[in-house]
Structure 1
C-alpha cells in the first residue's frame, strides 16, 4: 500500500450562507505507511478540522477520505465507529486517562469497549513498547505527566491501528519530557512501521517528523521534508505574518 490515508479535494463548511465558515478548502494530502507527519498552521488555519475529518470524527462537506482502501463516505455511523475503534488510535494533549483505573486497565479499555476481553500479554506488550512494563499497576495520579502520556500512547497502540492521530501530544509536557515522548513516537515509526499524523504548534516537535504540512486559511500553504526546528519556525513566522 502506497498510502495509509488519503484526503482528496476535502472541504469543510460550517453553517450556511450568509454566515457560513469555510474550515477546509480543497485539501488533497496522502500520508504514507511508516511515516510521521506534522500538521502546523496559525490559529484558525484548519488543523483540528483536518484531523477530525481524516480520523472520521467529522464528515467533510466535499471530497473524500480513505483509510487503506476504505472510503469513509460510504460508511454508516455504526461502521464508522467500528473503523475508528479498530483501525485508528488517538492521543490527546490532556492524556484522557481514567484516574480510577491502573495503567493496564486504561490500556485495555479500547478492547473492552470493542467487546473483547483484553489479554494480559497484549496489554503488557503495549506498555513495554512505551517503556512502562513496570508501571502496569500504577494509577495516573501515581505517574508523571510524561508517563501518563506514554500510557495514552500504549492505549492507542493496543488495537494495532493503521494510523495514530496525535493532537498536541507534547503540549502539556516540559521540554525534556517532550523530547522523550517524541523520541518514542519516532521509534514507533522506524521500528514498528506505525503511521502517525501529529498536530502541533511546536517547531521542535515538528522536527521529529518526516514531513510537515502547513495550513493557512483552511488550505495547504506549504510542505516541508526533512524539517529542522529553525526552518519550521521560519516558515511558521512567514505564515503568521501573511495571515
Structure 2
C-alpha cells in the first residue's frame, strides 16, 4: 500500500474530528489572531488585522461594516474558503488552519452549511435533489426522509418535485436554507441571505434562520448590510479596517443603524485624514 490517502479516509477523519472535538466543545467558530494580507510591500492590503473571536454553539451572529471593512474576507476565512496569512481558525473544535485543500472540501461538504444571496440552486435538479446535493458531494447515500424533514421545516414539504424556476425567490431561498441544514452542520454561514428579497419575504427567511438557532441548536454567522436583518441576531459585530471595532447584543434596528452611521463616519474621516 502507498502513502496516498483515499477520499473515504479523509471523510472519516473529518467526521471523527467533529464528533470528538466539536460535540463537547462550546465554541462553534474560533479565530485566533487571524490576519489576511493581499500583496506585499507598500501596496499590500490588510483585509483582516488580528481577529480574535469565539462564537458559541447555538448562537446567531451578524457581521456588519462599511464597504471594504473586511466582512467578506472574514466570512471566507472563518468558513475555510480562504486561508489566513497568519493565525488559526477552528470550526466545531477542529483546527482547519493547516488542512489540505481536499480535507477542507470534505469539511465544507459534511460539517458546514452555506446560504448565499443568489440562492445558487441548480436549475436542472428538483428541489429535493438540490437539498440532497451536499450528501451526494460528500459521498453519502442521499437520505430522502431527511430531505423531506428539512423541507417541511422551511414550509416546503410538498415542493420536493418542483424545479427552482417554478418557485418564488423567497421559496428558493428556503430551499437553500434546507440544503444548508440537511447535513446537520456545525455552522451555517449566510452571506447577505436577504439581499435579493422583498421586506416581507426577507422577514420570513430571517425567522427561519432564527428558528434554526432556537429550535434546532444551529449556529448561524450572517454577513449583512441591513440593520433590520442584523436585529434578528443575538449579537452584531462591526468590522472596520479589518478589525472588530464594536459589538451590540440583542439590539434593535435603530440602534444598529445608528452604530453603523457612527462607524462609517469615523472610517470616512480617518480615510480622509490619512
Query: SS state of the match for residue 244, structure 2?
Result: strand
Match 1:152 to one of 176, 199, 212: 176
The C-alpha deviation readout for 1:11-50, integer Å capped at 9, x for no partner, is 1000111211000001111111111100000000000000
Q: How many Å separate the matches in 2 of 1:171 and 1:68?
A: 28
Match 1:184 to one of 208, 213, 218: 208
The C-alpha deviation readout for 1:101-130, integer Å capped at 9, x for no partner, is 110010011111112231210111111111
Query: SS state of the match for residue 159, structure 1?
Result: coil
Gaps of 5+ in 1: none
- Aligned CA RMSD, in angstroms, stands at 0.8
The C-alpha deviation readout for 1:68-121, integer Å capped at 9, x for no partner, is 221112311111111111111000000000111110010011111112231210
The equivalent of 1:212 in structure 2 is 236
The answer to whether the 8 A contact 2:27-2:93 is kept is no
Match 1:85 to one of 109, 113, 116: 109
Q: How many Å separate the matches in 2 of 1:74 and 1:10?
A: 13
How many pairs are equivalent? 243
Q: 1:56 and 2:62 equivalent?
A: no
Please identify runs of 4+ aligned residues in structure 1 that moved more than 2 A: none
Q: How many Å separate the matches in 1 of 2:86 and 2:192?
A: 26
Match 1:65 to one of 86, 89, 108: 89
Q: 1:18 and 2:42 equivalent?
A: yes
Q: How many Å separate the matches in 1 of 2:110 and 2:135?
A: 9
Q: How many Å separate the matches in 2 of 1:72 and 1:140?
A: 33
The equivalent of 2:160 in structure 1 is 136
The equivalent of 2:33 in structure 1 is 9
Gaps of 5+ in 2: 1-24, 268-274
The equivalent of 2:10 in structure 1 is none
The equivalent of 2:18 in structure 1 is none
Larger radius of gyration: 2
The equivalent of 2:224 in structure 1 is 200
Match 1:121 to one of 145, 148, 162: 145
TM-score (structure 2 length as normaliser):
0.87
